[in-house]
Structure 1
Amino acid sequence: MNYADVFNAVSITKCSDIKGLLELFEASYLAFEGETILDEAKAFSMEALRNVYPTLDLNLAKEVAHALELPMHWRVQWFDVKWRITMYETYNKNIDKRFLELAKLNFNTVQAILQKDLREISRWWRNLRIMEGLNFTRDRLAESFLCSVGLTYEPQYSCFRKCLTKITTMILIIDDVYDVYGSIEELEQFTEAVDRYCPQVEVLPSFFGESLEGFIEGKRLDWWDSSKTQDLPECMKTCFQALYDITNEIAYDIQELNGWQVQALLHLRKAWAGFCKALFVEAKWYNKGYSPSLEEYLSNALISSGAIVISIHTMLSVGSTDEKTINLLGKDEDLAYNISIITRLYNDLGTSMAEKERGDAPSSIHCYAREMNVSEKEAEEHIKNMINNTWKKINGQCLNNQSHNLLPCSFVKVTTNVARMVQCLYQFGDGFGIQDRETRNHIISLLIEPFNLDKTAKD
């Protein structure tokens, strides 16, 4: 008898171990490639939970609904903490008040640190004043900071969170430049400017004995050439200058942290150049009315998703400074590659209709539907299956890394959280393009509203 026979032998209507079913359902999302038995377990437990849901008490019903909406393995860990504390307090019959208050105090303490980070990054954003001349782009600082929290909420990573927020805001702004503002000729000039490299300086100088001002005002000019932007509209010049300044600031911070054994600015510049070139490919596709195959689309979307940019910043900031490791990111279907693919697929599921209406390049859904001559609904199901299969690859790569120590654990954790964060953003639509209720609720719950502490709790 195989496992399928075992599942089928159990009458779904007589399943009484709901907790066991729930655990089986959650465990099925940890499957690797080829583990079809866990696919069967997922289908079985999902159907069973849906059937028994109307008969459950309120507490268990909430847990089941929460899991069916999104399994634990796909959730952003920190975003789920408040819900679980509230569930424990509301429905647990044997509450340990000291344990409960400790959990609330821990949440409030971390939240206070995040609030401080948000105040500091908001001050930086106001001083940058980039939005004054960019009425075509999205001002999503709070959402960008929320993303950085989703990737790494731990108190010790304040500087990295602010770095991630800066990166995310620039990804959104540059994406809008290519999607909704620039002409093909202007975008070509902008892309060349970001890609242009002055080769006369081969290595970065030691920062010892140099001030930040000296580094920023002097040495950086040997690394990025802005002459190609002279004929561009002022708003595109503003975007380039902001990218230029932010990248140099982040590179300096990385060098100050890790020393000069790795050329951070060179790697960051390459990452942004690749991102812009991939966006330019999509702009040309749209301009020519060209619909690529899904394979061709994804080979470019790997870069245009922006996840590789985040991965390289992450590796340099909290991971490894090994040049070989950094240069291989996104290659040979590695972890960064699969995270990038899943980022684009989630994004396409959440934004495909809005992007089609406003005139963006085709999404994976439209590419597959046209290539295979199927409906968009069928194409969406195919993309969802691709997401499931990509998660299996990610699961295997994370376990393999744990066994062989191929990549720093901090890098693996942050990068995998990118996939969870994009799922959170696009689960109910476009969490970036539209300031929707779900994203706003996350901001209020996680960054603004603390727990009320019980002053009567005993030590």
Structure 2
Amino acid sequence: MDCKKQLQSVLRTSSSEMKPQANDIEHERRSANYKPNIWNYDYLQSLSSIYDGQEYERRVQKLKEDVRIIFANAVDSVATFELIDSVNKLGLASHFDMEIKEALDTIASIKKKISSPEEDLYTTALCFRLFRQHGYEVSQDMFRGFMDEKTGLFRKNTHINIKEMLELLEASHLGLEGENILDVARDFSTATLKESISSLDSDLAKQVFHVLELPSQRRVQWFDVKWHINSYEKDIHMNSSLLELAKLHFNIVQAILQKDLRESSRWWRNLGLTENLSFARDRLAESFMCSVGLAFEPEYTCLRKWLTKVVILILIIDDVYDVYGTLEELKHFTNAINRWDVSETQQLPECMKTCFLALYNTTDEIANEIQKEKGAWNQVLPYLKKGWIDFCNALFVEAKWYNMGYSPSLQEYLSNAWISSTAPLLLVHEFFSMGHEVTNGMEDFLEKNQEIVYNISIIIRLCNDLGTSVAERARGDVPSSILCYMREADVSEEIAQKHIKDMINKSWKKINGQCFNQLPMLQSFVNIATNNARVAHSLYQYGDGFGVQDRDTRKNIVSLLVEPLSCSTELNCQIMENGSICQL
């Protein structure tokens, strides 16, 4: 019997046949007490938009021409910098790649030839940030002119310029290892903004809080774009063409994402896993949002489809290891994964057989689809299998630690946790989903960029630990990085959390050192790879974004996938009523 038929056969097993097995009676299964899925299938299928018509695309092309004229008419470098910054924040950078590059090239060549008079701190910080973000060589020494030579600190002005401080703080988070001036800049701007926030007007205070909460370098761009559009609309220097383009672009992308979500929702329902795996998280919408955070652009529909499948299977498999399986069962399950052999699952409970078959078939389907979509090479599957094998072996190590009551050192924990973080598994799917050939590309990339893979993995793991450690400790899970450090260094939880946050900061510096200087052919992949770390910040900023659905994650899904922006270009069409919020 082939594997697909086996899966269908298992899923047809009636609830009366799925009685507790002897092993279930002898071993009381754990529970994470995850709440049921709040996103109704019919509701997700009902999502639609008026912004998928050609009339809106024609309007977009006209507005893009208007914005190109704005680029051509920019009066000086500051105006150009501010325009580029607005275009980036409004999610429009991919439409103006050529104009942005030409503008920055021109300014860079002028700065090399002419020793310009000393600029203000705002312009210097904005210039530094944009040049570094776009891969130009730029030195932290640009800020020395604003520092006291004796103390090595930034000079304080009588009048605090909030705009300068915001820009300085954003620039400081692009620092590399050893750039101590940017560390000083971060501490100075952070302290100044915190002292000033209570005296600011409402809109400016919101901007300050937004940056203090999480700098743009660590935010998912598309998750943030609606916030920036609303903020830009209140700017007295707002350009109406740019604003209309941003709103229209957002709504058009949202229409595409709704279509992708409907397709993923149908796949998940047809797979039928949720009816048989009550212990696991049913999180289709959240998994899809992760894929959007990695790549929101319309051309990445296939990548989003494949990654949504990978992420939701990661959650299921993680719950098998963390919640459901006994150590003996997990040993057999891991052996089946290592051998990639369905016959090795015969001794397992039906629900674990179901999990394996779903993983086996879905991975095979993804590999075949990647080969069909991206090129006729047949070496994708071994890499995808290895990703899952490494991930499951790391989870098995954690399961053994839990069953032994073993508390590893922080270093021992991280040597395994960077793999169980899911980043290496996700990255291998992302690499091939973007059409990079197998030949020597994958091996060369991993060999030359192992550090960036490791640091992305560490950030995901540590953000996860900061957001979920309280719930995991209550369940008695294997110790997190926080608990490992508390025991190892004999410190309080507060001190341990600070240490973990410092580790995240150091990992970002290492990522910064590599993500701004990639070859053009790999730059898109590196941007998406780095988005894995940004999605982790978003998911775990205020708790467990997967385990708990009805907080910030829900708000993000509604804002980005359900509610369009009010746009002047509605061409006498009414927004569909089912664009309203679902009743959760």
TM-score by length of 2: 0.70
One-letter code aligned to 1:82 = K
Provide the secondary structure at the position in 2 that maps to 1:134. coil
Structure whose alpha-carbon radius of gyration is higher: 2
Q: Of the candidates 371, 378, 385, which is equivalent to residue 269 of structure 1? A: 385
Q: Of the candidates 399, 414, 417, which is equivalent to residue 516 of structure 2? A: 399
One-letter code aligned to 1:11 = K
One-letter code aligned to 2:381 = L
- Report matched runs for 1:134-213 at 5 Å: 134-196=277-339
TM-aligned CA distance change 1:350 to 1:312, over 3 Å: same
Unaligned runs of 5+ in 1: 197-223
Give the paired residue count: 425
- Report matched runs for 1:53-452 at 5 Å: 53-89=197-233, 91-196=234-339, 224-261=340-377, 263-318=379-434, 320-327=436-443, 333-402=450-519, 408-452=522-566
The question of whether the paired residues in 2 share the 8 Å contact of 1:33 and 1:392 is answered with: yes
Identity %: 57
- Report matched runs for 1:19-30 at 5 Å: 19-30=163-174
One-letter code aligned to 2:380 = A
Q: Tell me how far 1:49 sits from its aligned partner.
A: 0.7
One-letter code aligned to 2:518 = N
Instruction: Note the alpha carbon deviations across 1:405-440, whole angstroms, 9 max, x for none.
Output: 6x7112101110000000000000000111141000
The question of whether the paired residues in 2 share the 8 Å contact of 1:319 and 1:408 is answered with: no
Cα distance in 1 for residues equivalent to 2:367 and 2:547: 29
Cα distance in 2 for residues equivalent to 1:258 and 1:104: 32
TM-score by length of 1: 0.89
Match of 2:156 in 1: 11
The question of whether the paired residues in 1 share the 8 Å contact of 2:154 and 2:185 is answered with: no
Q: Tell me how far 1:351 sits from its aligned partner.
A: 0.5
Q: Tell me how far 1:329 sits from its aligned partner.
A: 6.2
46-55 vs 414-423, greater mean Cα deviation: 46-55
The question of whether the paired residues in 2 share the 8 Å contact of 1:318 and 1:411 is answered with: yes
TM-aligned CA distance change 1:84 to 1:7, over 3 Å: farther
Instruction: Note the alpha carbon deviations across 1:70-118, whole angstroms, 9 max, x for none.
Output: 11111100111111111122x2234433332221111000000000000
One-letter code aligned to 2:255 = A
Provide the secondary structure at the position in 2 that maps to 1:401. coil
Match of 2:71 in 1: none
Match of 2:44 in 1: none
Cα distance in 2 for residues equivalent to 1:389 and 1:455: 45
One-letter code aligned to 1:295 = Q
Instruction: Note the alpha carbon deviations across 1:4-40, whole angstroms, 9 max, x for none.
Output: 656746337x342211111000000000011111111
Cα distance in 2 for residues equivalent to 1:95 and 1:352: 43
286-295 vs 330-339, greater mean Cα deviation: 330-339
TM-aligned CA distance change 1:9 to 1:371, over 3 Å: closer
Cα distance in 2 for residues equivalent to 1:395 and 1:336: 12
TM-aligned CA distance change 1:364 to 1:97, over 3 Å: same
One-letter code aligned to 1:449 = E
Q: Tell me how far 1:322 sits from its aligned partner.
A: 3.7
One-letter code aligned to 2:382 = L
Cα distance in 2 for residues equivalent to 1:371 and 1:6: 36
Cα distance in 2 for residues equivalent to 1:263 and 1:456: 47
The question of whether the paired residues in 1 share the 8 Å contact of 2:375 and 2:435 is answered with: no
Cα distance in 1 for residues equivalent to 2:375 and 2:565: 41
Cα distance in 1 for residues equivalent to 2:543 and 2:167: 28
TM-aligned CA distance change 1:184 to 1:16, over 3 Å: same
TM-aligned CA distance change 1:280 to 1:456, over 3 Å: closer
One-letter code aligned to 1:302 = W
Q: Tell me how far 1:227 sits from its aligned partner.
A: 1.0
The question of whether the paired residues in 2 share the 8 Å contact of 1:78 and 1:150 is answered with: yes
TM-aligned CA distance change 1:49 to 1:428, over 3 Å: same
TM-aligned CA distance change 1:390 to 1:440, over 3 Å: same
The question of whether the paired residues in 1 share the 8 Å contact of 2:253 and 2:297 is answered with: yes
353-362 vs 153-162, greater mean Cα deviation: 353-362
132-141 vs 78-87, greater mean Cα deviation: 78-87
Q: Of the candidates 47, 50, 75, which is equivalent to residue 194 of structure 2? A: 50
Unaligned runs of 5+ in 2: 1-143, 572-584
74-83 vs 319-328, greater mean Cα deviation: 319-328
245-254 vs 371-380, greater mean Cα deviation: 371-380
The question of whether the paired residues in 2 share the 8 Å contact of 1:7 and 1:44 is answered with: no
One-letter code aligned to 2:175 = A
The question of whether the paired residues in 2 share the 8 Å contact of 1:131 and 1:139 is answered with: yes
153-162 vs 326-335, greater mean Cα deviation: 326-335
TM-aligned CA distance change 1:100 to 1:338, over 3 Å: same
